[in-house]
C-alpha cells in the first residue's frame, strides 16, 4: 500500500506544470506570511515604544 502511495505521489510530482502551480501557491503563502510576520513585529515594536514613553510620562 505504501509503495503504491509513494508511486502515486511521485507521478503527481513528476508533472512539471502541476509542480510549478504548487510551488507558486506555496510561494504566495510564504510571501503573505513574511508580510504578516513583518506587520506583527512592527506592531510589537510600536507598542513597546509607546509603552516606554508611557512609563516615562
Partner 1 sequence: MLQGVKDPHSAAHYSIYAFNPVVPLSALDPGIDPFVGETVWLEAHVQNDLLNRPLQGSTALERTGLADPAGLFVRFAPLVVFLLAFSAVARDREQGTLSLALSAAATGRAIAAIKISAVASVATVMLAGALAMIGLAGIVQGGAAGDAWLRVALWVCAATGYVVVLSVVGVLAGLLAPTARTGFGALLLFWLIAVLGALPAASAAANRSRPLPSFQEMKIRLERDAPAYWTPEVGAERQALLMRRYGAADEAELDAQRVNLRGLELDYAERLSQAVFDREIGAFYRRVLDQDRLYAALAWLSPAIAFDAASAALAGTDFRHHLAFIDGAEQYRRALVNRMNADLIPNPARSGVLHTSDGRLWAEIPEFAFLPPGWHTALQSSAGPLSALAGWLVVGAALAAWVTPRLRP
| Residues engaged in binding partner 1 (CB under 8 A) | 1, 4-5, 8-9, 11-13, 15, 18, 21-23, 25-26, 28-30, 32-37, 39-41, 43-44, 47, 50-51, 54, 57
Q: Look up residue 26 and give its DSSP letter.
A: H
Give the nearest distance from C-beta 19 to partner 1 in angstroms: 10
- Angle between helical axes of 2-14 and 16-56 (0-180°, round to 10): 90
Query: CA-CA distance, 24 to 45, in Å (whole number)?
Result: 31
Give the nearest distance from C-beta 45 to partner 1 in angstroms: 10
Amino acid at each position: 500500500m505504501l509503495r503504491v502511495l509513494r508511486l502515486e505521489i511521485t507521478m503527481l510530482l513528476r508533472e512539471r506544470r502541476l509542480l510549478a502551480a504548487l510551488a507558486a501557491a506555496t510561494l504566495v503563502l510564504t510571501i503573505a506570511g513574511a508580510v504578516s510576520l513583518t506587520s506583527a513585529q512592527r506592531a510589537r515594536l510600536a507598542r513597546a515604544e509607546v509603552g516606554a514613553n508611557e512609563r516615562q510620562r
